[in-house]
Amino acid sequence: MSAVIEELHHDGHHHGPDKGIMRWVFTTNHKDIGTLYLWFSFLMFLTGGVLALGIRAELFQPGLQIVQPELFNQLTTMHGLIMVFGAVMPAFVGLANWLIPMMIGAPDMALPRMNNYSFWILPFAFGMLLSTFFMDGGAPNYGWTFYAPLSTDYAPPSVTFFIFAVHMMGISSIMGSINVVVTILNMRAPGMTLMKMPLFVWTWFITAYLLIAVMPVLAGVVTMMLMDIHFGTAFFNAGGGGDPVLFQHVFWFFGHPEVYIMILPAFGVVSAIIPTFARKRLFGYDSMVYATASIAFLSFIVWAHHMFTVGIPLAGELYFMYATMLIAVPTGVKVFNWVATMWQGAMTFETPMLFAIAFVILFTIGGLSGLMLAIVPADFQYHDTYFVVAHFHYVLVPGSIFSIMAAVYYWIPKWTGNMYDETLGKTHFWLSFIGVNVTFFPQHFIGLAGMPRRIPDYALQFADWNMVSSCGAFLFGFSQLLFLFIVIKCIRGGKKATDQVWEGAHGLEWTIPSPAPYHTFTTPPTSMKEAHG
């Protein structure tokens, strides 16, 4: 397919984008599709954010004020589903679309038409998912992990729409991942060996393999649910010979690699930004590649650490505890790598660098609380408390989402040709940084004190920290409107960006003009000197 398109371009004339709305519907251009993904994920980020603010508004004070428990459960479930599958994952796919071809010197993704399909499935999947709010019995209310039998015997009728929405997202992710792998394996410019690829490409390469391996398992588990609900099977029904705990095993076999799917590309982004603003090469490129691969491998053999309290035998608990703790080793390699890159560097603190440094610090905090949760005897106390909520929000919000914001600030001059407003960018950073910590740090305390997660009301002793947390959430939430404003302002104009944009930036994407032309690298670049920092 790629060959056909290349030929067309060589024989015919180079043309720009089509005019009007149809440009976006039929586009096969990796930059257009990247843009679509990024806008879609931002829309979903705001949608999931509104749901989160509903949750925090209810939890501002003890007692039931704003939403009833039935709706509260729908809010937590839909917040999780939309943020994971609608905001974080599509944002990284958007970055992959924009950046991978430009970073490896390819004219486009390998399968441009499939790329278009992968994106356009998503609005329908999430339209269907969101429509469940207006159905009898309401939206999914069984948590984003949709444990059976909550999601089968006790689910609202809308569960069938949820299942099909998950199938559609899965198909979209699998097609997107196949595209990434085929592009990286077959379309690198001559001389761009695997070990010369920028780390963002490497981390996405590994992420794509994770997605290809686990999204079908997710499809399998929701298919089993569908069969239990409608076709009289009993995969998860003990009365019919099934087992609800089986659901958790299959789900977390998907679920644990899934959480690394949401963080590995973030590692790639940060590994691009820190060397640029420290004006040094990355401390250890090879070790970063091997650490990423190790984390990906370990992600497949630790899933039951989410299930310590279901009653697995002692030997199993010990194995999953030690295997989980082992992940701290390659993760530590990465963190020390970033710190060593900054060591004695000529650092400047533009907005992308601020987000990247905050990522390193706050992600490490989230990683350490993860290590605490890995300890089996301690986990029995922490399980299903707000400590878990604090842990995974620390790795996902100032982890994944900060890295996405860092990436947008870092590459937006290349995308639009204009510099963003640095003062506003820094303001956005500090508001977000304060907001995130005020929101999630107190949740460690209330979690250790015993507040369970997924409840609309709580005991009085948790009131103060919940109020603090809610204030932080509203600060963080509304700060993102400033982000929207900065991005729109940057698209409409601003100081012209140079081709290299950042003084210390290295890589093929910085050798092409700003803004990046509609078609780039129609003839492969020859010099690989600039391949990675």
Partner 1 sequence: MSGKTAASKTIRQLIFVVVGMFGFGFAMVPLYDVLCDVTGFNGKTAGKYTATEVQDVREDRLVTIQFLASNNANMPWEFRPKVRTMKVHPGKLNTAEFYARNVTGETMVAQAVPSVTPFHAAEFLHKTECFCFEQQQLEAREDLDMPLRFIIDSQIPEDVKTLTLSYTLYDVTEQIGLATN
Residues that bind partner 1 (CB under 8 A): 1-3, 110-111, 153-154, 174, 177-178, 181-182, 185-187, 212-221, 224, 232, 234-235, 237-240, 243, 245-246, 249-250, 253-254, 311-313, 316
Q: How far apart are CA 325 and CA 457, in angstroms?
A: 34
User: Of 47, 132, 151, 172, which residue is the catalytic one?
Assistant: 172
Instruction: Verify whether residue 453 is a known catalytic residue.
Output: yes
CB under 8 Å to 174, separation ≥6 — which residues?
211, 212, 215, 216
**Choosing from 35, 41, 331, 364, which is the catalytic residue?**
331
Phi, psi at 385, each rounded to 5°? -110, 175
Tell me how long the chain is.
533
Closer of 20 and 313 to partner 1 (Cβ): 313
Confirm if 439 and 389 have CB atoms less than 8 A apart.
Answer: no
Residue 258 is among the residues annotated as catalytic for this protein: yes
> Catalytic annotation on 420?
no
Selecting among 258, 317, 379, 509, the annotated active-site residue is 258
Least separation, in Å, of the C-beta of 310 and partner 1?
8
Least CB distance to partner 1 at residue 187 (A): 8
Residue 256 is among the residues annotated as catalytic for this protein: yes
Minimum CB–partner distance for residue 210 and partner 1 (Å): 11
299 is catalytic: no
CA–CA separation, 493 and 352 (whole Å): 19
Identify whether 144 is a catalytic site residue.
Answer: yes
- Of 385, 368, 366, which Cα lies nearest the Cα of 441? 366
Task: Tell me whether residue 79 is one of the annotated catalytic residues.
Answer: yes
E strand intervals along 31-166? none
Q: How far is the CB of 465 from partner 1 (least distance, A)?
A: 34
User: DSSP letters along 237-281, please?
Assistant: -GGGT--HHHHHHHHHHHHHHHHHHTTHHHHHHHHHHHHHHHTS-
Asked about 108 being catalytic, the answer comes back as yes
Name the percent of the chain in helix, strand, coil, to the closest 5: 70, 0, 30
Q: 245 or 424, CB closer to partner 1?
A: 245
260 in active site: yes
**306 in catalytic set:** yes
Identity of the residue, 170 or 413, whose beta carbon is nearer to partner 1 in the bound complex: 170
Measure Cα distances from 53 to 44, 46, 134, 278 in Å. Answer: 14, 10, 20, 37
Q: Establish whether 279 is a catalytic residue.
A: no
When the beta carbons of 253 and 510 are compared against partner 1, the nearer one is: 253
Nearer to partner 1, 234 or 424 (CB): 234
Among 280, 306, 391, 428, which one carries the catalytic annotation? 306
Tokens coding 522:
């129609």
Q: How far apart are CA 33 and CA 31, in angstroms?
A: 5
The one catalytic residue among 37, 41, 77, 108: 108
Tell the smallest beta-carbon distance from residue 212 to partner 1 (Å). 5
CB of 103 to partner 1, least distance (A): 19
Best CA proximity match to 155, nearest among 81, 190, 147: 147
383, 426, 453, 519: the catalytic one is 453
Residue 238 or 484: the one with the smaller Cβ distance to partner 1 is 238
Which residues are the active-site residues? 79, 108, 144, 172-173, 256, 258, 260, 271, 305-306, 331, 334, 453
